[in-house]
């Protein structure tokens, strides 16, 4: 299945993508394993999924934009690709199989105010980073997204998209109204009507150039917000780079120690 490429929104430079989050998780896994072994316990390292299977960043920011996704899933969230599903299932199984002692070693004991190996791993990977309020980032990005919806050019594109949808019998003021239609949200699987709506939605977005118009407006508004909070965003970028670099060093060192075995391989 063809996947949409990552968004070029300015905010993506300051936020972790799904693939980057998994890179950090992989490094944490290895650090937790070493810490647990120091206490005489085992920790199964979960292999990372295939890179091409990992969800693109901001994939549904402007609603459904991929024809095949609309055809298969309507407005429902697409199923995880096999290797991602296996990754998530393996992490869940590992959690369920931990003994009480191993759970305390891994995650600490709140009753004793004791940190576990997972907390120590996070501290190692964020050792030289600043303590930054992530809620400000989320607030700013939410505000800029809302502002982009009120942009004049975007409003014209919404009107054209809505007229296109109406020609096919679907009545929505904008794409987010289509995504959040209660008929779709309350259904366990997409109905034929939902599939038709999603396919029409994608077609009308392409016909009206809605996505590039909307993305351009949001990019401009985000850039203004980044300039207005320049020091904050510089600190975010530095923190992101430092955590990723620390994670990659852990992964590279593990690969060398294990004679070229994959980063998710079990250490014998």
pLDDT band of 8, cuts 50, 70, 90: low
Reported as a single tens digit per residue, the pLDDT across 197-248 is 999 999 999 999 999 999 999 999 999 999 999 999 999 999 999 999 999 9
| CA separation for the pair 189, 192 (Å, rounded) | 10
- The DSSP result for 131-158, as a single string, is ---HHHHHHHHHHHHHHHHT-HHHHHHH
Q: Specify the higher pLDDT residue, 131 or 187.
A: 131
| CA separation for the pair 204, 164 (Å, rounded) | 6
Q: What is the pLDDT of residue 259?
A: 53
pLDDT band of 185, cuts 50, 70, 90: confident
Overall average pLDDT of the 184-191 stretch: 88
Q: What is the pLDDT of residue 55?
A: 86
pLDDT at 6 over 60: no
3-state SS, one letter per residue, for 224-262: HHHHHCHHHHHHHHHHHHHHHHHHHHHHHHHHHHCCCCC
Q: What is the pLDDT of residue 230?
A: 98
CA dihedral 166, 170, 175, 176 (to 10 degrees): 140
Query: Which of 5-9, 24-28, 65-69, 87-91 is predicted with the least confidence, judged by mean pLDDT?
Result: 5-9
Q: What mean pLDDT value characterizes the chain?
A: 91
Q: What is the pLDDT of residue 257?
A: 75
């Amino acid at each position: 299945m063809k996947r949409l490429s990552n968004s070029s929104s300015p905010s993506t430079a300051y936020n972790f993508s799904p693939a980057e989050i998994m890179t950090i998780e992989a490094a944490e896994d290895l650090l937790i394993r070493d810490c647990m072994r120091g206490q005489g316990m085992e920790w199964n390292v979960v292999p990372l999924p295939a890179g091409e299977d990992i969800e693109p960043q901001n994939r549904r920011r402007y609603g459904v934009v991929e024809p095949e996704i609309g055809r298969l899933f309507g407005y429902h969230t697409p199923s995880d690709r096999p290797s991602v599903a296996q990754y998530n299932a393996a992490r869940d199984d590992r959690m369920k199989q931990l003994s009480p002692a191993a759970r305390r070693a891994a995650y600490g004991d709140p009753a004793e105010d004791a940190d576990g190996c997972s907390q120590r791993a996070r501290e190692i990977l964020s050792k030289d980073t600043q303590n930054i309020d992530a809620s400000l980032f989320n607030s700013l990005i939410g505000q800029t997204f809302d502002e982009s919806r009120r942009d004049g050019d975007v409003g014209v594109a919404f009107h054209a998209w809505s007229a296109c949808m109406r020609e096919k019998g679907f009545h929505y003021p904008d794409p987010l109204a289509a995504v959040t239609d209660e008929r779709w949200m309350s259904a366990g699987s997409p109905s034929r009507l939902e599939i038709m709506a999603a396919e029409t939605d994608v077609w009308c977005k392409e016909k009206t150039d809605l996505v590039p118009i909307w993305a351009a407006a949001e990019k401009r508004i985000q850039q203004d917000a980044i300039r207005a909070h320049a020091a904050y965003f510089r600190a975010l970028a530095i923190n992101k780079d430092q955590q990723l670099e620390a994670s990659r060093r852990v992964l590279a060192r593990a690969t060398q120690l294990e004679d070229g075995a994959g980063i998710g391989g079990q250490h014998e």
